[in-house]
Chains A and B, each alone.
Chain A
C-alpha cells in the first residue's frame, strides 16, 4: 500500500538511521510526511521490522512529520508497549508544535518518553 500525493511523491516515507549511544546502538526511525489512516501501514511495517530484529533502543524522530492522526498514535502506543515488554526502550523526539498538541491531548506525554530533539533523545538513552 503506497499512497501518493498529487505531486506523485509518496505521502509518507520512513528513513532508518543508526546512532551510537552509551549502551550500544540506537535505531532512529524518521517518518517524513503524513501519518494518516491511509499511510500508517508504512510506519507500522517499519517499526515491526525493527522490533522483530531485537532492537534495544528505538528513537522516533518526528522532525519531518507534518501530520499524525489517531491511526498513527495507535501504532506509536503499541510500539512503546512492545519495546517495554521486550526490555527495550522507545524515545520520541522532534515533535512540531501541532503534533505535540495532539500528543498532549491524547495523554501520551505522561506515558511516553518525549524529548525536544534528537540530541536530547540520544543523550537520554
Chain B
C-alpha cells in the first residue's frame, strides 16, 4: 500500500513539475514583466537595476535551476505588484477557495445524484426527459454566464441575495450555485447512465424476483455497483471546480485563489501566477488521491495495490 501511495505521489509531483517547467519556459521565452511595471519614461538604467533585482539578467538554464530550487523550498519570490511574498498571498486566499469548491461540489452531489437515480428508475418519464435536458444544457452553458444570469435574477429582479462579497452564508449561495450547475449536470448524467447499466444486469433481476422491495433493490443492490463511475466523475470534476472558480470568484468578488490567479495573470505578476498554479495542482492531486483510495472501500474487488 505504501509503495502504491508513494508511486502515485511521485507521479503527481512529476506532473506538477512538468507543468511548472512549461510555465517557466513560456514565461522566460516571452520577455520579462519589468517593462509593464515601470512607467514608459523609466530610464535604461532603472530598467536594468529592476531586472537585476528580479534576477532576469542571468542565463536561462541557471534561472531554471534557481527556479526549481525555489519551488522545492516553496519560495516563489515577491509579488511583482505588491512586493509581498507570493506564498503568503496565496495561502491567505486558499480557505475561501476551499469553502467555495466544497460547497459547489456538495450541492452538485446532493441534487445531481438523486436526480440521476430518479431519472434512471423512471426511464422515459417526463422527469427523465427533464433530467437529460438539464444535464445537456448545464454542460453546454459557460459558468460565467450562469453566474451573470443568477445575479440578474436574484440580485437585480428579486433582490434577495447579495450579488457579490464575502463573509456571511448568504454571500456563498450565488457563487456556489453558479459553480455547481455545471457539476450537477455532469453528476446527473453519470449517475443516470451508470445506474441504467447496472439495473439491466441479471443480479438485479434475481433480487427483484426474490421479492426484494424495489427501493432496497436500487439503494442496496444497484447503487453500490453504480457508485464507481460516480466517484470517478467527482475526481474529474475537481478540475472543473477549480477552473470555474477562477471565473466565479472574479465575478462575485470572492477573495479566493481563482480571483487571485486571474488578477495576477492580467498584471503578468508571475511569482503569484506560479504559486497559485502550484497550490491549485497540489490540491487537485491530494483530492484525487483520496478519492482513489475510496474505490476499494466502495468495491472490495478493486485492489489498488498487491
Our verdict on whether A and B bind, yes or no, reads no
Q: Which residues from chain A sit less than 8 Å from chain B, CB to CB?
A: none
Q: Which residues from chain B sit less than 8 Å from chain A, CB to CB?
A: none
